[in-house]
Amino acid sequence: MRPDVRDVAAVTRQLGREPRGMAAVAHRCPCGLPDVIETAPRLPDGTPFPTLYYLTCVRARAAASRLEAGGLMRQMAGRLAGDPALRDAYAAAHRDYAARREAAARAAGVAPLPAGAATAGGMPDRVKCLHALVAHELAVPGANPLGHEAILAMGQWWSVGPCA
C-alpha cells in the first residue's frame, strides 16, 4: 500500500524535500501529522537505505537535536557501558530493528540488507543519533529504552500545534 498523498505532502513540507523511499507513516504526532515514517530498506535504484524509521517532525527533530547538543548521548553511552541490563535491552532494540527492516524488505520484494548491516542510532553498542532512537521508539513503543528516555526528555514538542 502506497502512502497517502497528503502524508507525503506533509512529510515533504517537514523535510523541505521529497522523502526518499517513504513506505508508510510509522507514527503520528498528537497534532495528527506524521512524525515518523517507515522507509524502504533500498531506494528505488537499489541503493541500501538502512534507516527504517525516520523522524520527520520539525519540532521533534529540534527537540532531539537540543538533547544531543546538551550531552545526553554522552551520558547514555556512559550508562550503557556500565549497566549490563541496559546493554541487554539496547541489544534487543537492535535485533528488533534489524528484524523489522528485514521484514520490510521481504514485504517490498527487495533484497534485505546484508547480515550485520548497521541498524540505527549506533545500536547495539554506541549511542550515535537520538533522532533514530526516538523514531524507533515512537514507531514501536517499548522497543528502544534509550529512545524512550529521549522522548521523555524532549517534552511535548507538539504542544504549540502542527509543525508543517
How far apart, in whole angstroms, are the C-alpha atoms of residue 108 and residue 16?
26
Q: How sure is the predictor about 160, in pLDDT bands with cuts at 50, 70 and 90?
A: confident
Cell numbers for 13, please give them. Answer: 513540507
**The pTM is what?**
0.95
Q: How sure is the predictor about 115, in pLDDT bands with cuts at 50, 70 and 90?
A: confident
In a domain, 160, yes or no: no
Give me the domain span that covers residue 40.
5-154
How far apart, in whole angstroms, are the C-alpha atoms of residue 89 and residue 126?
13
In a domain, 18, yes or no: yes
Cell numbers for 61, please give them. Answer: 527533530
How far apart, in whole angstroms, are the C-alpha atoms of residue 147 and residue 21?
23
Total domains, the chain: 1
pLDDT for 118 equals 85
In a domain, 162, yes or no: no
